[in-house]
Structure 1
Amino acid sequence: MMSRILGVSEQFPKFSIPAVVSLEHGKEFAEISNETMKGRWSVFFFWPMDFTFVCPTEIAEFNKFYKQFLDRDTDLYGVSTDTKYVHLAWRQHHEDLKNLQFPMLADNTKNLSEELGILHPTDKVPFRATYIVDPEGVVRWVSVNDLSVGRNVKEVLRTLDALQTDELCPCNWEKGQATIK
């Protein structure tokens, strides 16, 4: 039985999770928590597990658009239930992951994934869930894909843009287009 997925308008759970933040010896790890994201927009994207095939394509794509998230005053966090040591090994050995600009959170206790309700009922790994969280820690958008289907990073950016207008945005709205007054 799967738990209920945390949804829009709910408070993002309290957490404190180790993360890989660098490949520089002695500076590889940091603790990321609600305090880290306080007062800023945040995007959390979860993947099932390291050393797989679809996951690095998504991680690399988020990294490719990293500056665009920063331009929107938004922090980006990648998360799986692997340990920080597995994340570090994957980053060190996968060419597309060596220059990541955002933290890879290690939810190996699965506490955050469980609180969000995004663990696959039998495989016990996270679905490909994406959360946009506002500066007050409130979930403003959730998208969850099955394990086998990668997500669209441009759609995450488009939705973030729409949320940040704080106005009514029509179907297929993109940044620069008129909102509904």
Structure 2
Amino acid sequence: MALTVGDQFPGITVPVQQGVGALPAGETIDLSKTDGKWKVVFFWPKDFTFICPTEIIGYGELVKDLADRDAVLIGASTDTDFVHFAWRKSDERLANCDFPWIADNKKELANALGIVEQNAGVALRATFIVDPHNVIQHVTVNGLNQGRNPAEAIRVLDALQTDELCPCNWQAGEEVLKPAA
């Protein structure tokens, strides 16, 4: 069963890889810790593929914008930390995507979230926006062949952080809806 809006994001510790300075050495990330920040967690199916790097680079370009919104970016796939490292080393654009990549090769997190594509045995293209209380506030899931628009995560995060009613296609700075009293 897939987790959705209002559900607690799994508070588990999973392997993670970040950067290209050294081989992976068993680093982990505790997903129960929020440090008072929002999280944007996005999964891609597999490293060394075609659509995935476009999404990773697209999300990577948003790291500073997310930080301005008290949010952190975390990527994930069902590959190992060593595969992540090798892929980053092989592509300078990916090496520059300096945010943690979860190595969910046991599919512990992907299964807990309910996003494993059963026939392919990999994670779907899923994005979760999680509030500082570790509660899922937004979920999108795409099939294996459709890339996402990472900028939509910023728009949705902006809307969520207003704690107001935001109409269709709302953008930061625009009027929110005010019901008549």
Interval of TM-score (by shorter of Structure 1 and Structure 2) = over 0.9
Q: Which secondary structure state, in structure 1, belongs to the residue aligned with residue 42 of structure 2?
A: strand
1:100-139 paired onto structure 2 within 5 Å: 100-139=97-136
Question: Which residue in the other structure is 1:30 paired with?
Answer: 27
Deviation at 1:29, TM superposition (A): 5.9
CA distance in 2, matches of 1:95, 1:21: 14
Counterpart of 1:16, as a letter, is T
Question: Which residue in the other structure is 2:91 paired with?
Answer: 94
Question: Which residue in the other structure is 2:140 paired with?
Answer: 143
Structure 2 CA distance for partners of 1:127 and 1:26, relative to 1, 3 Å: closer
Question: Which residue in the other structure is 2:8 paired with?
Answer: 11
CA distance in 2, matches of 1:162, 1:56: 27
CA distance in 2, matches of 1:35, 1:114: 17
Structure 1 counterpart of 2:70, from 62, 69, 73: 73
Query: What are the superposed Cα offsets for residues 3-27 of structure 1, whole Å, 9 maximum, x if unpaired?
Result: x211000000121111112211267
Is residue 159 from structure 1 mapped to residue 156 from structure 2 by the alignment?
A: yes
Unpaired segments ≥5 residues, structure 1: none
Structure 1 counterpart of 2:47, from 42, 46, 50: 50
Paired residue total: 178
- The TM-score, its normalising length taken from structure 2, stands at 0.94
Most deviating of 6-15 and 18-27: 18-27
Q: Is the 8 A contact 1:54 1:148 kept in 2?
A: yes
Q: Is the 8 A contact 1:40 1:135 kept in 2?
A: yes
Structure 2 CA distance for partners of 1:26 and 1:94, relative to 1, 3 Å: closer
Question: Which residue in the other structure is 2:79 paired with?
Answer: 82
Structure 2 CA distance for partners of 1:35 and 1:12, relative to 1, 3 Å: closer
Deviation at 1:99, TM superposition (A): 1.1
Moved beyond 3 Å, runs of 4+: 26-29
